[in-house]
Every structure is written in structure tokens, then in C-alpha cells.
């Protein structure tokens, strides 16, 4: 199945067209998950960021989308049901999005124009996990 949503702020989903993307909330309360920053991280000094977590259903194995979001965030997300992501045309107050395994191993990252200086750029870091098969 394919799905598209609009993330507004840190916890509101609107204009959803499918059911593959599901907003997840921490069991201990709050609206966001605190995870170790996956970009520009120093192995000797961990930095944690607040992320909005979307659980993603896929026929070949589920993944997780992590969005470092704030109350100003507006992000259009389109997912083809397998492993293709499209972001925009609206992407306000978002620098990057990470796709992770359900065990929070990074698969790939999407870097937005505020960082890349151009179009949304997909990066696959060395040693990255693979999409579940």
C-alpha cells in the first residue's frame, strides 16, 4: 500500500491517504522520543534529539521514520509502500529525516535543502542497516 501524510508540529497528522504510517507516542508519556543523534555524532560524547516517530508498515518488514520535529514543523511525507520516500512540497523546520529498523539501526537519511543547499538528498551511511527483506 502507499500512504501520504502531513506532519504538523510534533504530534498532529493530517491529510492521511493510507494506513502504512502510524504516529507512535512514548509509553512513558510525552509526544516525542529522545534518540541519539545519528548525524555528526561524536562517539565519545552522545547528543540526543527529540524526534517524532512514525511506525511504517511494509509487506517485507516494518521500519521506523524519525523526524527531529518542533512545534513549527510542517512536512509532507509520501511513501510508496516499499522503500521509496518523497518529502514536500511543504517542509518547514525540518533539516533531516532518518529511516531506521524497528531496533533503531539507521538504514538511510534524507537531508533537506536547509542543510544540503539544494534538493532533498538521500544518504546511506557506511555500515548502515538494510531494509527488512
Instruction: Please give the residue range of the domain that contains residue 65.
Output: 3-123
In a domain, 7, yes or no: yes
d(C-alpha 101, C-alpha 44), whole Å: 24
Residue 23 lies in a domain: yes
Domains identified in the chain, total number: 1
DSSP secondary-structure letter at 42? B
pLDDT value for 60:
94
Regarding pTM above 0.75, the answer is yes
Residue 113 placed within a domain: yes
Contact assessment for residue 11 and residue 26, using Cβ atoms and an 8 Å cutoff = no
Whether the link from the prior residue into 89 is cis, omega within 30° of 0, is yes
Q: Identify whether 130 is part of a domain.
A: no
pLDDT tens digits, one per residue of 70-105: 999 999 999 999 999 999 898 999 999 999 999 999
Map residue 113 onto helix, strand or coil: helix
- Name the grid cell of 69: 520535529
Amino acid at each position: 500500500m502507499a500512504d501520504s501524510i502531513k506532519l504538523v508540529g510534533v504530534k498532529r497528522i493530517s491529510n492521511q491517504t493510507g494506513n502504512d504510517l502510524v504516529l507512535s507516542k512514548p509509553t512513558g508519556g510525552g509526544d516525542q522520543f529522545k534518540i541519539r543523534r545519528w548525524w555528526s555524532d561524536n562517539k565519545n560524547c552522545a547528543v540526543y534529539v527529540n524526534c517524532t516517530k512514525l511506525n511504517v508498515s511494509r509487506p517485507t518488514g516494518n521500519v521506523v521514520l524519525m523526524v527531529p520535529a518542533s512545534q513549527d514543523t510542517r512536512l509532507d511525507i509520501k511513501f510508496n509502500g516499499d522503500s521509496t520516500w518523497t518529502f514536500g512540497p511543504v517542509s518547514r523546520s525540518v533539516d533531516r529525516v532518518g529511516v531506521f529498523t524497528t531496533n533503531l539501526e539507521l538504514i538511510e537519511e534524507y537531508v533537506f535543502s536547509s542543510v544540503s543547499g539544494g534538493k532533498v538528498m538521500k544518504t546511506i551511511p557506511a555500515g548502515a542497516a538494510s531494509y527488512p527483506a
